Amino acid sequence: MSRSGAAVSVHRLSFFYTNNGRRVEALREVSFSVPGGGIYAVIGPSGCGKSTLLYILAGLLAPSAGEVLVNGEPPLPGRRATSLILQDYGLLPWKTVWDNVVLGLAIRRLPAGEVRAAGEKVLKEMGLWELRKRYPAELSGGQRQRVAIARALATEPDLLLMDEPFSSLDALTREAFQDILRNIVQGGSLTVLLVTHNIEEAAYLGRRIIVFTPHPGCVYKIFENPQAGLPGYRKTAGFFRLCTELRGALEHGRDQI
């Protein structure tokens, strides 16, 4: 990565939408911040607005109220330094692994040599070079996830937004991908905001963990987690204690509604 990670600031963010003529409140006065560099987790029950938060940070939705800043600026559609990975990976089934990975670079009309060099680099780093001519339907779930991450990294973002990226993987593959993400971020050159339902995933990866209440989504509690991502952390007493505290926060946050 060629740039430092993006700092994110969210202040009293609210978001409403209309459903069958009825106004629905998805987020209510959400406030938190994360510094540039590292992985930060957002955890909460289904329907609490976590995905909506990512869409706002990506510039795909505008806040109904409040302020959202990425590196001191409101996020705009098409911000080149932001990448978003959705639950279904977002791969184009009619394109090969290679074409999916370099899609963002091609859209930006970069010189062919730059596209080729960047694509080759990220495919080799993600262990996908030998699969570059295959189509998504020919890949396992874990391989498709690698392709989605490779495509996101090919554009050298400073902010990576991930919406339940590992939810469809089996437990061991999921843990392996958590370590892949941890290794990618080491060095402080990328900020990752990870939305998850998984308590253990949030506890292992999130340097800061933002716990949401049920709908409408509010910040119930924020946990600092300086041990996040350290080798062997999953087996420590501190990890299990944090998981217990997160579970309690989710339960108490639910009771506040």
- Both 190 and 209 in one domain: the answer is yes
Q: Give Cα separations from 118 to 45, 75, 84, 158 (angstroms).
A: 38, 25, 19, 16
Cα end-to-end distance, the chain, whole Å: 42
Contact 82, 159 (CB under 8 A): yes
**pLDDT attached to residue 2:** 43
- Both 221 and 100 in one domain: the answer is no
Q: Where are the beta strands (DSSP E) in the chain?
A: 8-19, 22-34, 38-43, 65-70, 82-85, 159-163, 191-196, 208-212, 219-224
pLDDT along the chain (257 residues), means of 10: 76 92 92 95 92 94 95 87 84 92 86 90 90 93 89 90 87 89 83 95 96 93 95 94 96 67
Contact 205, 244 (CB under 8 A): no
**pLDDT attached to residue 123:** 92
In whole angstroms, what is the distance from residue 26 CA to residue 15 CA? 6
* Residue 140 per-residue DSSP state: -
- Both 77 and 182 in one domain: the answer is yes
- Both 138 and 39 in one domain: the answer is no
- Both 109 and 225 in one domain: the answer is no
Q: Could you count the other beta carbons within 10 Å of the beta carbon of residue 158?
A: 23
Q: What is the pLDDT of residues 209-239, one digit of tens each?
A: 999 999 899 999 999 999 999 989 999 999 9
Asked if the structure places residue 86 within a domain, the reply is: no
Backbone angles phi, psi at 163, to 5 degrees: -105, 100
- Both 211 and 106 in one domain: the answer is no
- Both 234 and 172 in one domain: the answer is yes
Among candidate residues 7, 24, 10, the one with its CA nearest the CA of residue 63: 10
Cis peptide before 216 (omega within 30 of 0): yes
Domain of 131 in residue numbering reads as 91-155
**pLDDT attached to residue 137:** 93
**pLDDT attached to residue 187:** 67
**pLDDT attached to residue 8:** 96
**pLDDT attached to residue 256:** 57
**pLDDT attached to residue 80:** 83
Asked if the structure places residue 2 within a domain, the reply is: no
For residue 169, the one-letter residue type is: L
Q: Helix, strand, or coil here: 127?
A: coil
| Number of domains composing the chain | 2
